[in-house]
Amino acid sequence: MSLHVDVRGTGPDLVLLHGWGMHSGIWGGVHDELARDFRVHAVDLPGYGASPPCQPYDLPQLVQAVASALPSRAGVIGWSLGGLVAQRLGSIHPQQVTRLMLVGATPCFVQRPDWPCGIEADVLQNFARDLEHDYAATLMRFLSLQVRNGENVRTVLKYLREALFAHGMPGAEVLRAGLNILLENDLRTEAGRLALPLSIVHGERDMLVPADAARWLAAQVPDARLNIIPGCAHAPFLSHPKVFMQEAREFFS
């Protein structure tokens, strides 16, 4: 399948992978800033923006679709669901990924008996159920969870709400399948096999992905860079763009 990719700038190739419910436009001004130094490929994941959905809609298919859309060698930045895709991509296609930055990401989104660093499965299951009754309101509630307790809440939430449907509306089936990916996948056993330079950027106040998940992941990968941003929630590139851009430029340059 062919994914929609918004390419800007010149220089080393750098790929941006967005989170659940969003599209490549969420990167906004960060995309333009990065394009000053890199050839930036902002990907619409399957079923979002201008990209068609894949079948079956699961993590292996998402990774295969993204791998086909990538340059032969590129740095990758993955946020949230995009971070899950990026981890698997770096694990099974290390020849394609030169460096990996994970933003608000985790190897396992939900709590398990041996994994307290996630959210309760009921939270995601309730979002999946509520999509049937009030599609738009459910997505808006998810955006509110992403900014809760962070700094610059009004500014970030306003941007997220304006961007949400700016590139079209993802189908309810795609959204439900994406939530299932977050619920079902546990990549912890793959973490130690990420044999490439890794940067982890995470919000100290992230209510969707606890910061302890980032600390755990950094401990699994030798020489991983860990930047936990004080006062930051789930979208550091929106709430703290200067800190995010400084780390991105240092790491990928």
Q: Nearest Cα to 248, choosing from 45, 70, 19, 78? A: 78
Residue 143 known to bind ligand: yes
What average pLDDT score do residues 207-221 get? 96
Q: Is 206 a catalytic residue?
A: yes
Q: What is the pLDDT of residues 98-155, one digit of tens each?
A: 999 999 999 999 999 999 999 999 998 998 888 877 878 888 888 898 898 888 888 8
Q: What is the pLDDT of residue 116?
A: 96
Q: Exactly one of 51, 206, 239, 240 is catalytic; which is it?
A: 206
Write phi, then psi, for 166 (nearest 5 degrees): -65, -25
SS3 assignment, position 6: strand
Residue 164 known to bind ligand: no
Write phi, then psi, for 217 (nearest 5 degrees): -65, -40
Residue 72 known to bind ligand: no
Q: What is the pLDDT of residue 59?
A: 98
- In 93-209, the DSSP E strands lie at 97-103, 198-203
Contact yes or no for 17/43 (Cβ under 8 A) = yes
Q: What is the pLDDT of residue 27?
A: 95
Residue 28 Rama label (left phi>0; alpha psi -120 to 50; beta): left
* CATH number where 30 lies: 3.40.50.1820
Has residue 1 got a pLDDT over 80? Answer: no
Q: Is 32 a catalytic residue?
A: no
- Distance from C-alpha of 50 to C-alpha of 158, rounded to nearest angstrom: 23
Output the CA angle 195-200-205, nearest 5 degrees: 150
For residue 196, give both structure tokens. 């490439």
Q: What is the pLDDT of residue 167?
A: 85
Residue 144 known to bind ligand: yes
Instruction: Name the percent of the chain lying above pLDDT 70.
Output: 100
Q: What is the pLDDT of residues 59-108, one digit of tens each?
A: 999 999 999 999 999 999 999 999 999 999 999 999 999 999 999 999 99
pTM: 0.96
Q: Nearest Cα to 145, choosing from 182, 193, 114? A: 182
Q: Is 58 a catalytic residue?
A: no
- Distance from C-alpha of 47 to C-alpha of 138, rounded to nearest angstrom: 18
Residue 234 known to bind ligand: yes
Residue 81 known to bind ligand: yes
pLDDT tier, 24 (very low <50, low <70, confident <90, very high otherwise)? very high
Q: What is the pLDDT of residue 67?
A: 96
Calculate Rg over the CA atoms of the chain.
16
Q: What is the pLDDT of residue 192?
A: 87
What average pLDDT score do residues 148-176 get? 88
Has residue 251 got a pLDDT over 90? Answer: yes
pLDDT tier, 196 (very low <50, low <70, confident <90, very high otherwise)? very high
Write the burial class of residue 106 (CB in 10 Å: 0-12 exposed, 13-18 middle, 19+ buried).
buried
What residue type is 248 in one-letter code?
A: A
Number of domains in the chain: 1
pLDDT tier, 221 (very low <50, low <70, confident <90, very high otherwise)? very high
Residue 20 known to bind ligand: yes
Q: Exactly one of 4, 31, 234, 240 is catalytic; which is it?
A: 234
Residue partners of 220: CB distance under 8 A and separation at least 6: 191, 192, 194
Domain that holds residue 100: 5-252
- Distance from C-alpha of 136 to C-alpha of 54, rounded to nearest angstrom: 23
Q: What is the pLDDT of residues 175-192, one digit of tens each?
A: 999 999 999 999 999 998
**C-alpha dist (Å) from residue 252 to 104, 105, 135, 238:** 18, 18, 38, 19
Residue 202 known to bind ligand: no
